[in-house]
Amino acid sequence: MAMITINKVENNHITNKEERYRHLFVIIESLNNELIPSSLEMLGEARRLMDHFNQKYNLNEKVIAIHLGDGIKDLSQDLIYYGADAVIYADDPHLKYPINKIFTKIISRIATDPNSIREISPEYISAFKKPRYMFFLADSIGRHLSSTVLAELDSGLASDINKLVISDLDIKHQHKTKGETITYKKTLEMYRPDFSGFLWTTILCLDNKNPEIEKEFHPQACSIIPGAFQPIIKDTKRTGIISQYRPQFDEEDLKIKVLKQELVKNPVQFENYKIIVSFGRGIKENAEENIKLIEKLAKLLNAEIGISLPISKKIFHLSEKYDSIYITPNRVVGTSGRKVTPIIYIAVGISGAIQHLDGMKESDFIIAINPDENSPIKDVCDVFIKGRMEDVIPVIIEELEKRSGQMKEKEIEVNTYGKL
Amino acid sequence: MTLNIAVLVKLEPDFSEGSVSYNPDGTLNRAETKSRLGAHSAIASLAAFYTKVKYGGYVSVCSMGPPMAEIALQEAQLICDADELHLYSDRLFASADTLATAEVLKQGIKKMNSGKEMDIVFSGHRASDGETGQTGPQTAWKLGFTFLGNVIDFSVDLNNRFILAKRLIALPGFYDIVEEIQAPLPVFIAIDPLYKPTFDTISLRLTSSKYLKEAKERADSYKTYLNVLDHKKLELDPRLVGLPGSPTIVHKVEKIPKARTTRIAELIEGHDREGIINSVTKILQLIQK
């Protein structure tokens, strides 16, 4: 009889532990009362994951959008239409700008207060301690906010994620499980492309089940690359709970003041060009001379110049001029930079890591110049010129100059090719 | 008064051509790649130097890493004329994720400059190998300091003890914003790659060259400025550092599957002049449509 009781207690203990963590919290960003579009991409992926989750585990856990700002209440309905089951918003003049310290405290309080979910899921409220999962955007706001919130919640964070899976995993780990195999249920597998774009690292946030260092690590959280996921189609028939959170502020924190915010136009406007010429590591034999060659080609075609991600790491020794004009993050094409869809995309010396391809493969017509016929870029291009850029580009330049000369003779304006 | 300034730096793979080595599949060959002070760490060191020149201050530089990471500290000292170097090195710290790393750095920063509180802590934007950009803000949070990221310019009001910073906030697919923000000290600043200090008065230039000369002398004998601290000296609970203190693990590393073939490319050989000229014709036709 005694044995049975003990077993029962242990079981309860295990169940209780799991019940402390519920729902997927999505941290929404907006600017001047307009939702940042990538927030809706996160909500879309959250919706897909939790639909699958609830079906698989026969549960009723929610996608909860957390939204802080000033005058943002009216955006709540849209968050429901785009996939949230519930919205918790805090609307206050002190929240006009996303000041890291203030936002971190409020988000952390919402995430650890059982009253937050009182209306949303009363059945889970008694045991609730923290969210099960949490999503942030991997932009200049969310990247830092996710770091500080997770430091406050004392749990793990994976950054720059572009694929997510929830599954039960058998884990055998020296520290986490003391070498035993233990099944971790409902684990969020967070896939992160590395800097080269060729490797995917899967990050897990796991409780320490090793008795010597036992500790629970929840929520399992990540920041998501803008553009990585698709939003769901806006569905105005969707309904959900919208609940207001009344934030408290620490006097000391209100001394942090945003004096001014100015929108700046990105000097690189890919959208205004019909042609984009991008270069990658293939310029290496004579980086500066090759960039000059590409510059000349781009000028003749009236094209904007892009770069691949590895190039942005300043891997070549260039003169200050070329370095400051071309080796800048705002020229990176790919999921870690910008997605482009010009009429013609010319990839010079780019092998084609998937994160680059995802940023340009929807261009109308794609030409690659590369000596290696096995480069992945060949699978997404229309014309593959197999050769060294040093040999190929001069031929193109010569031909373009010849033709523009002919056009001049016909008194037609030069260099109007690409202009919109 | 002068400022207590700290800088967090990291030893990183050197991605510049000639130092970096890639495997045939395009991934980094770590064994063959040289290491040095990370590029973003160098910018953080430069920001600390500027602060020291302009406002006066005591600069402490720290890094968590293996014993060889002291070369990164030396390189940073050469940039910022550091008065003190801290290396947090212990087998127990190995394989830490950002939260466990932040725990070590927080404790180390508290022990800098004989335990005086720091006024400004600088870090780089992100490491060029791990690339998470999380360690800075998490260290700031554990210290209880106000975190300011993507800082492209700043000035300090010594009398009122606050900082005025300009930040570049990039929201991909939306807008870029330049923000001016004011915050009381102490602050933690993650410096943006676009930061460029200017020594625009004669007096600043004179002070700068004086300190640079001193920096060179100091870096030549950097070991006399170096303190190596392990978990005991840092008074750290082993359960909060290294693998035991890391919520996250790397579960697997795999090659990202090749993209689906979406187009069948026409192959033109590089020596096929006529083929290339035909492509030019095609380009011109397409954009004139």
> A19-255 has which CATH code?
3.40.50.620
pLDDT, tens digit, for every residue of A175-230?
999 999 999 999 999 999 887 677 899 999 999 999 999 999 999 999 999 888 99
CA distance B105 to B85: 13
Under the banding of pLDDT at 50, 70 and 90, the label for residue A269 is confident
The radius of gyration of chain A from alpha carbons, rounded to an integer in Å, stands at 26
**B150–chain A nearest CA distance, Å:** 7
Q: CB-based contact (8 Å) between A146 and chain B?
A: yes
B148 neighbourhood in chain A, CB within 8 Å: 100
Full DSSP string of B85-111 = EEEE--GGGTT--HHHHHHHHHHHHHT
Task: Supply the pLDDT for residue A16.
Answer: 61
Our CA angle for A129, A136, A59, nearest 5°, is: 45
DSSP designation for B264: -
B254 neighbourhood in chain A, CB within 8 Å: 199-200, 202
A277: part of which helix (H) or strand (E)?
Answer: strand A275-279
As annotated, the residues of chain A forming the CATH 3.40.50.620 domain(s) are 19-255
CA distance A166 to A190: 9
CA distance A143 to A166: 22
CA atoms within 13 A on the CB side of A1: 0
Per-residue burial over A232-271, b = 16 or more CB atoms within 10 Å of its CB, e = otherwise: beeeeebebbbbebebeeeeebeebeeeebeeeeeebebe
pLDDT, tens digit, for every residue of A366-406?
999 999 999 999 999 999 999 999 999 999 999 999 988 77
Full DSSP string of B13-76 = E--STTT--B-TTSSB-TTTS-EEE-HHHHHHHHHHHHHHHHH-EEEEEEEES-GGGHHHHHHH
Report the residue of chain A nearest B176, measured CA to CA.
A264
Task: Supply the pLDDT for residue A4.
Answer: 41
Task: Supply the pLDDT for residue B26.
Answer: 62
pLDDT, tens digit, for every residue of A128-187?
999 999 999 999 999 999 999 999 999 999 999 999 999 999 999 999 999 999 999 999
Task: Supply the pLDDT for residue A264.
Answer: 85
CA atoms within 13 A on the CB side of A48: 13
Q: CB-based contact (8 Å) between A351 and chain B?
A: yes
Per-residue burial over B154-174, b = 16 or more CB atoms within 10 Å of its CB, e = otherwise: bebeeeeebbebbbbbbbbeb
Q: What ipTM was assigned to the predicted interfaces of this complex?
A: 0.92
Which of the pair, A251 or B35, is modelled with greater confidence?
A251
DSSP designation for A226: T
Residue with tokens 């460029």: B196
Task: Supply the pLDDT for residue A406.
Answer: 73
Under the banding of pLDDT at 50, 70 and 90, the label for residue A407 is low
Asked if B243 and B236 touch (Cβ cutoff 8 Å), the reply is no
Residue A3 scores a pLDDT above 50: no
Lowest mean pLDDT among A149-153, B1-5, B84-88: B1-5
CB atoms inside a 10 Å sphere around CB A299: 14
CA distance B122 to B124: 7
Report the residue of chain B nearest A255, measured CA to CA.
B183
Q: CB-based contact (8 Å) between A231 and chain B?
A: no
Task: Supply the pLDDT for residue A409.
Answer: 57
Our CA angle for B20, B24, B26, nearest 5°, is: 65
Question: Model pTM?
Answer: 0.87
CA distance A155 to B99: 8
Interface of A with B in 46-85 (CB under 8 A): none
A257 neighbourhood in chain B, CB within 8 Å: 181-183
Residue A262 scores a pLDDT above 90: yes
Q: Please, which residues bridge with residue A66 across strands?
A: A27, A88
Interface of B with A in 115-144 (CB under 8 A): 128-129, 131-134, 136-138, 140-142
Report residue A267 CA to chain centroid gap: 22
pLDDT, tens digit, for every residue of A275-322?
999 999 999 889 999 999 999 999 999 999 999 988 887 778 888 889
CB contact under 8 A, B256 and A158: no
Task: Supply the pLDDT for residue B277.
Answer: 93
Task: Supply the pLDDT for residue A5.
Answer: 40
A169 neighbourhood in chain B, CB within 8 Å: 251
**B101–chain A nearest CA distance, Å:** 11
Residue with tokens 């070329």: A322
Question: Which amino acid is located at A67 in the chain?
Answer: H
* Domain annotation for chain B: domains and CATH numbers: 3-240 (3.40.50.620)
Residue with tokens 């990221």: B149
Among the listed residues A419, A414, A413, A369, the one whose alpha carbon sits nearest the alpha carbon of residue A394: A369
Asked if A36 and A136 touch (Cβ cutoff 8 Å), the reply is no
| Residue among A209, A383, A388, A391 with most chain B CBs within 10 A, to mutate | A383
Residue B151 scores a pLDDT above 70: yes
The arrangement of strands across the sheet holding A275-279 comes to A304-307, A275-279, A344-348, A365-370, A383-386, B266-269
CA distance B124 to B39: 8
CA distance A306 to A256: 38
Task: Supply the pLDDT for residue B232.
Answer: 97
Task: Supply the pLDDT for residue A408.
Answer: 60
Residue positions counted in chain B: 289
CB contact under 8 A, B173 and A37: yes
Under the banding of pLDDT at 50, 70 and 90, the label for residue B178 is very high
Mean pLDDT of the region B14-39: 76
pLDDT, tens digit, for every residue of B191-234?
998 899 999 899 999 999 999 999 999 999 999 999 999 999 99
CB contact under 8 A, A383 and B266: yes
Q: CB-based contact (8 Å) between B255 and chain A?
A: yes
| Residue among A191, A201, A385 with most chain B CBs within 10 A, to mutate | A385
CA distance A63 to A86: 7
Q: Hey, what are B49's tokens? A: 């130097």
> A270-409 has which CATH code?
3.40.50.1220
With the CA atoms of A40, A42, A45 and A50 taken in that order, what torsion angle do they form, in degrees rounded to the nearest 10? -100
Mean pLDDT of the region B154-169: 96
CA distance A320 to A327: 10
| Axis-axis angle for helices B273-288, A389-409 (nearest 10) | 50
Report residue B167 CA to chain centroid gap: 16
Report the residue of chain B nearest A273, measured CA to CA.
B287
Which of B26, B131, B249 is the closest to A173 by Cβ? Answer: B249
**A305–chain B nearest CA distance, Å:** 16
CB contact under 8 A, A391 and B141: no
A268: helix, strand or coil: coil
CA distance A219 to B83: 41
Full DSSP string of A67-116 = EEESS-GGGHHHHHHTT-SEEEEEE-GGGSS--HHHHHHHHHHHHH-GGG
Q: CB-based contact (8 Å) between A238 and chain B?
A: no
Residue A10 scores a pLDDT above 50: no
| A225 dihedral zone (left: phi>0; alpha: psi -120 to 50; beta) | beta
Residues with Cβ < 8 Å from A321, sequence gap 6 or more? none
How far is CA A42 from each of CA A227, A228, A312, rounded to the nearest angstrom?
9, 9, 26
A339 neighbourhood in chain B, CB within 8 Å: 173
CB contact under 8 A, A382 and B286: no
Our CA angle for A43, A47, A53, nearest 5°, is: 140
The radius of gyration of chain B from alpha carbons, rounded to an integer in Å, stands at 23
Residue with tokens 């959250």: A46
Q: What sign results for the dihedral spanned by CA atoms B143, B145, B149, B152? A: negative
Percent of chain A with pLDDT over 90: 76
CA distance A105 to A103: 5
Residues with Cβ < 8 Å from A275, sequence gap 6 or more? A298, A301, A302, A303, A304, A342, A343, A344, A345, A346, A417, A418, B283, B287
Residue with tokens 């640079």: B212
Residue A1 scores a pLDDT above 90: no
Report the residue of chain B nearest A254, measured CA to CA.
B183
| Residue among B188, B249, B289 with most chain A CBs within 10 A, to mutate | B249
Asked if B254 and A360 touch (Cβ cutoff 8 Å), the reply is no
Q: CB-based contact (8 Å) between A104 and chain B?
A: yes
